[in-house]
Amino acid sequence: MHLGLCHGALVQQWLGCVRARVCAPAVRAATAPCTAHSQWRSSRRLTTQTTCQQQAKQKEARNTATLPLDGITVVDLTRVLAGPYATMMLADQGADVIKIERPGLGDETRQWGPPFAGDQSTYFLSVNRNKRSIAIDLTDPEGLAVVHRLIATADVLVENYFPGKLDQLGLGWDTVREINPRLVYASISGYGSTGPYAGRGGYDVVASAVGGLMHITGPAGGEPCKVGVAMTDLSTGLYLHAAVLAALLSRERTGVGMRIECSLLETQVASLVNVASAYLNAGAESTRLGTAHASIVPYQAFSTADGHIVVAAMNDAQFSKLCSVMDLGGFKDDPLYATNPARVANRDALLAVLQARFSDQTTAEWGAALEDSGLAFGPINTIEQVFEDPQVLHRNMVAEMEHATAGTVRVPAMAVKYTPSGEGHQSPNDVPPSAPPRLGQHTRDLLADLGFTLQETERLERRGVVSQATPAGDLP
């Protein structure tokens, strides 16, 4: 099949099929997923290039898995963080996520480093597990035709291109909903598709500045700071993930898909929550307080003899308990500190006393003293200490995968624990993840699923329309 010649006729047949609600045999044959594709969707198969014993065990475990999003196919046109984070969560839940990347370049984060694990960027590895990669030139008509074929039988498309760019490429909402009316089309941008900032580029650090997060982050009296990880990006990914699930549920009732728009700015504004409410309802402008809280005292970090500890006394009873643990019993009944409004009003004087007392002992000693108090507390851990923490270890918060070129890859595991109530259902937490794909690792597999012969695929490769990763067995 020469896709470049037949695509126009195929799409016209498909559109006629949709409008008439009758499936033309030629279209059905050309767009139906093959058996191998369906098997992968239910098993989230491992790369076939690597043959280590651990991967064989992972594949065997996955073959019997039944996951919440089995049977859902996601066309992933996202790069960097917010989009890939959202699609990784869908993949963790069983969706077949097909990551479409530029031949020769791929997702920008593939080059973000050091550090690298082997030849793989650790940044890219962090948000791309359980996906398949196909490298396609979207600017080539034959490449566009391949993507249209993928969309025809997909359930979800996620993209984070500059607003209007996919319309120019022939992949905008108005085009693809004609190809597949049941498609959930989810977009991420910096500022949304309309408004005075719609034409601006958007990244996490800029959106967190415009959206107020940097204004309230940093030391009291100091310069604005960005958060240590891209929380605006990550929050946008979380919003989009939930929105996609809601749209899929809606489709079960209505039979049609919908368009979803998320933007970094809107996510950040919505995430101001109580800070926004204080301004909108009481005219209170917030500022930077370091680790402290504007409305609760004490609720912050304190220096100890050898590090730092964070303590939160959320109400008067908890403050009284803290005073008892710290041998400061006279403060709990002092009218200057007995109630939270009084403690907020007399913040500086109280914090000076607490800080002097915390400095007397080590972080571990204070931890031991607070352990059975019922108070919320914890040390400020380094990243190394995070992954040595007994609670983190107990909750299995590290996922391991075998990668063809990076070796054993370790990343944070899913934050949600699933426990199915019925027999024969498996928790996503129990299914070994597959490693993030190499650029174009699954190009030939996916084209074969669409009905391409090897000769047709090789012709597209020679033209630079698609590219396939070097087989693992051919690597030095």
Catalytic positions, please?
233
Name the token pair of 170: 């022939």
Q: How far is CA 311 from CA 228, 270, 318, 323, 427, in A?
A: 21, 27, 11, 12, 35
Q: Residues with Cβ < 8 Å from 199, sequence gap 6 or more?
A: 163
Name the token pair of 310: 């964070």
Can you tell me the distance from the alpha carbon of 72 to that of 35, in angstroms, rounded to the nearest whole number?
15
Can you tell me the distance from the alpha carbon of 426 to that of 59, in angstroms, rounded to the nearest whole number?
15
Cβ atoms of residues 298 and 358 within 8 Å: no
- Tally of CA atoms within 13 A in the half-sphere of 67 that contains its CB: 30
116 CB neighbour count, 10 Å cutoff: 16
Host H or E run for residue 36: helix 35-43
Q: Residues with Cβ < 8 Å from 425, sequence gap 6 or more?
A: 66
Name the token pair of 202: 């958007």
Residue that is written with structure tokens 């941008």 in the block: 189
- Tally of CA atoms within 13 A in the half-sphere of 137 that contains its CB: 14
Can you tell me the distance from the alpha carbon of 286 to that of 253, in angstroms, rounded to the nearest whole number?
44
Crossing angle, helix 3-20 and helix 141-152, to 10 degrees?
A: 30
Name the token pair of 47: 């790369």
Q: Are strands 96-101 and 131-136 parallel, antiparallel or unpaired?
A: parallel
- Catalogue the E-assigned strands of 296-390: 299-303, 308-312, 376-379
**Residues facing 335 on adjacent strands:** none
Q: Are strands 73-77 and 156-159 parallel, antiparallel or unpaired?
A: parallel
Name the token pair of 159: 């993209």
Residue that is written with structure tokens 């067995």 in the block: 473
- Catalogue the E-assigned strands of 66-168: 73-77, 96-101, 116-117, 120-121, 131-136, 156-159
